[in-house]
Amino acid sequence: MSWTGKVLRINLTAGEITTEALNEEWKNDYLGSRGLATKYLSEEIDPACDPLSAENKMIMATGPLTGTMASTGGRYVVVTKGPLTNCIACSNSGGFIGAEMKSAGWDMIIFEGKSPTPVYLYIENDKAELLPADEIWGTSVWHTDEWLHAKHQDPLLRIAAVGRPAENGCLYAGIINDLHRAAGRSGVGTVMASKNLKAVAVRGTLGVGNIADPAGFMKAVNDGKAVLAENPVTGQGLPAYGTQVLMNVINEIGALPTNNMKEVQFDGAHAISGEAMHEPRKSDGRPNLTTNAACFGCTIACGRISTIDQGHFSVKNKSKYWGNSGGLEYEAAWALGADNGVDDLDALTYCNFICNEEGFDPITFGATVAAAMEMYEDGNLSKEQTGGIDFSFGSAEALTQAVDLVASGEGFGVDLALGSKRLCEKYGRPELSMSVKGLEFPAYDPRGIQGIGLNYATSNRGACHVRGYTVASEVLGIPEKTDPLTAEGKPALVKAFQDATAAVDSAGICLFTTFAWSLDNIAPQVEAACGGGWSPERLAETGERIWNMERDFNLKAGFTRADDNLPERLRTEAAKTGPAKGLVSKVEEMLPEYYELRGWDSDGVPTAETRKRLGLS
């Protein structure tokens, strides 16, 4: 129940489209979205395959709550093997296309092979066809969106697309839907473009029904909405400031990585904070932030809709960027700003617009620029190699030129499109890439927040905050406060967050609900929608099963215990200021206990007993 029970399979090589029933057994074990799509991918591809070959597959999937009235129930995921990391990649996005896909009757779309020529997938309920995309190949996401709406004469069409960087092989290209929502990390857009697939355009008018217990569902949904409304984070902080509510908070506790993680506090933090986005500009008296915005069905509405100062150097004579579009979220503001020492809010907003327009990950992009800046200052990169750009920390001009170069795939942008790991290897400083498994860190320093460091080291898609957001506990006290500076108790905390998150993602709702909701609030909604006995305990166990399945994928892809670690800098160079002054990450101390709690052997491999307990083959 609540699943449509239908899967659309697109063989791009042959141009063939088939439909099949959803695997009943798997949906009971893996729920939907992240879990279920990863099960399909694990069964269908060799985890050791080249992610950019026709052998790799890409799955777009919804969850059982996607498209329903459950608050935030509009999420979808893209699951594939990621080219930036060579790990399992699972990028989650909001906006509206996930619900549209479900309303068109599909739980999941599986793309396989590679089209001989550029195409896009057009879906109108049961009708699905591959159409030529030659006219939009080589153009941006925003142009593609406009072109498809005009071509199909349908303003209600929901569109996900890749831009020029994906086509050019930028390893961290994302898939942008609804103009500024992103399946952003791990290079899922690069995989999509490698298949010659430019866009997916969906119109669904069937609606989402098939609810197991309609009256119970509406009650559970309303109860959940009330909890979100009453919680200070989801009811006030996020609507008012978005995730940017964190910038000043994280800076104050000394965990805001600055200048490629050399420092843990940034003098310019306030200038790029959520509070600053509300302050009127000198030029026109308008604040950066116009309004907050919601994704499908979301009663939190943390999204930012912003403008850039029309007089700012980045948009002078570029009127197309003078209107409103998706504004800065915390991770992007940090990666583009603090990590590069740039405190120019308009420059960051410009970069954010371009990342959306052309489809690439602002976290990896920002962190890659940071690595380049450090190499530039250390003399490993010359001005000749950067194409004449002064890549010093703090340069808003260098940052905005870099974003334009990655967008167009020109000059030094070709190197920046590699991501920090490959860039630093190329210029002889591999230790300066602040990444795990090739994925750059998000905005929390593991020296000042110890638990998140262990999560980064063990996250199945590389350094990622949304795989186990222990910041909630360590900084915000959700569900209970733990000391961010200690390693004690963190392995259990990390495991609990990782497992719960896998379940939340697989339900088709947004992780941000968990600032207010525990699995006790989520289980009644899943159970009323799906039936079949979805308790909080079963959700947690499902999350653990998913986590272990992802781990298995990575082990088969060639990853080992040695990859569960942080860059040397974070383990040996102590924080210089703030509450964490003198501390390094104790990740190596925490790892053995984490393995034990997970039921893995000392090499990080799930034991036979663990596999049996979780029903993994």
**Among 206, 212, 540, 555, contact with another protein (rule: CB under 8 A):** 206
Which of left, alpha, beta for 503 (phi over 0: left; psi -120 to 50: alpha)?
Answer: alpha
| Integer Cα distance of 365 and 91 in angstroms | 16
Q: How many of the other CB atoms lie within 10 Å of CB of 167?
A: 22
The amino acid sitting at 220 is A
**Residue 203, H or E segment:** strand 197-203
What are phi and psi for residue 367, nearest 5 degrees?
A: -70, -30
**Among 4, 91, 307, 460, contact with another protein (rule: CB under 8 A):** 307
Pick the stretch among 62-70, 259-267, 339-347, 557-565 that binds another protein (CB under 8 A): 62-70
Contact, 524 vs 223, CB < 8 A? yes
**Among 204, 419, 567, 606, contact with another protein (rule: CB under 8 A):** 204
**Among 200, 246, 250, 293, contact with another protein (rule: CB under 8 A):** 293
- Min dist CB 276 to another protein, Å, is 18
Residues binding another protein: number (CB under 8 A): 37
- Min dist CB 208 to another protein, Å, is 5
- Footprint on residues 380-419 left by another protein (CB under 8 A): none
| Integer Cα distance of 365 and 351 in angstroms | 10
- Min dist CB 295 to another protein, Å, is 7
Lateral strand order in the sheet of 303-306: 289-293, 303-306, 325-326
**Among 208, 233, 261, 449, contact with another protein (rule: CB under 8 A):** 208
- Footprint on residues 102-141 left by another protein (CB under 8 A): 103
**Among 11, 292, 310, 610, contact with another protein (rule: CB under 8 A):** 292
**Among 7, 10, 69, 128, contact with another protein (rule: CB under 8 A):** 69
- Output 101 or 405, the one with its CB closest to another protein: 101
- Min dist CB 70 to another protein, Å, is 9
- Min dist CB 296 to another protein, Å, is 6
Pick the stretch among 321-329, 361-369, 388-396, 456-464 that binds another protein (CB under 8 A): 321-329
Assess 328 for contact with another protein (CB under 8 A).
no
| Integer Cα distance of 110 and 8 in angstroms | 6
- Min dist CB 194 to another protein, Å, is 30
**Among 4, 260, 325, 460, contact with another protein (rule: CB under 8 A):** 325
| Number of alpha carbons in the 13 Å side-chain half-sphere of residue 30 | 26
Q: How many of the other CB atoms lie within 10 Å of CB of 387?
A: 15
- Footprint on residues 130-189 left by another protein (CB under 8 A): 156, 179
Assess 301 for contact with another protein (CB under 8 A).
yes
Pick the stretch among 39-47, 284-292, 577-585, 607-615 that binds another protein (CB under 8 A): 284-292
Strand pairing partners for 177? 160, 181
| Integer Cα distance of 92 and 110 in angstroms | 16
Q: How many residues does the chain have?
A: 617
Q: Quick check: bond before 479 cis, omega within 30?
A: yes
Burial class (CB in 10 A: 0-12, 13-18, 19+), 610: middle
Three-state secondary structure call for residue 58: strand
Strand pairing partners for 111? 10, 58
State how beta strands 289-293 and 76-81 pair. Answer: unpaired
- Min dist CB 32 to another protein, Å, is 16
Strand pairing partners for 258? 263
**Among 294, 414, 605, 616, contact with another protein (rule: CB under 8 A):** 294
Question: What residue has token string 């499908």?
Answer: 296
Non-local CB neighbours of 232 within 8 Å, separated by 6+ positions: none
**Among 291, 392, 486, 602, contact with another protein (rule: CB under 8 A):** 291
Pick the stretch among 259-267, 320-328, 434-442, 538-546 that binds another protein (CB under 8 A): 320-328
What are phi and psi for residue 568, nearest 5 degrees?
A: -55, -40
**Among 224, 237, 297, 567, contact with another protein (rule: CB under 8 A):** 297
Assess 225 for contact with another protein (CB under 8 A).
yes
Two tokens, residue 23:
């695997």
Question: What residue has token string 């501390």?
Answer: 583
3-state secondary structure 380-391: CCCCCCCCCCCC
| Integer Cα distance of 253 and 214 in angstroms | 45
Angle of CA points 279, 280, 281, to nearest 5°: 115
- Min dist CB 63 to another protein, Å, is 14
- Min dist CB 214 to another protein, Å, is 8
Per-residue string for binding with another protein, 237-276, x by CB under 8 A?
A: --x-------------------------------------
- Min dist CB 211 to another protein, Å, is 9
Question: What residue has token string 């993680």?
Answer: 261
**Among 298, 487, 503, 566, contact with another protein (rule: CB under 8 A):** 298
Assess 67 for contact with another protein (CB under 8 A).
yes
Strand pairing partners for 130? 121
- Min dist CB 517 to another protein, Å, is 15
Assess 364 for contact with another protein (CB under 8 A).
no
- Output 452 or 528, the one with its CB closest to another protein: 528
Pick the stretch among 39-47, 295-303, 347-355, 410-418 that binds another protein (CB under 8 A): 295-303
- Output 225 or 569, the one with its CB closest to another protein: 225
- Output 54 or 301, the one with its CB closest to another protein: 301
| Integer Cα distance of 327 and 557 in angstroms | 36
Three-state secondary structure call for residue 62: strand
Pick the stretch among 200-208, 397-405, 516-524, 534-542 that binds another protein (CB under 8 A): 200-208
Pick the stretch among 126-134, 169-177, 198-206, 485-493 that binds another protein (CB under 8 A): 198-206
The amino acid sitting at 397 is E
| Angle subtended by helix axes 519-530 and 536-556, to nearest 10 | 90
- Output 56 or 288, the one with its CB closest to another protein: 288
- Min dist CB 71 to another protein, Å, is 8
| Integer Cα distance of 455 and 605 in angstroms | 17
Interacting residues toward another protein by CB under 8 A: 67-69, 71, 96, 99, 103, 156, 179, 204-209, 218, 225, 229, 239, 290-299, 301, 303, 305-307, 323-325
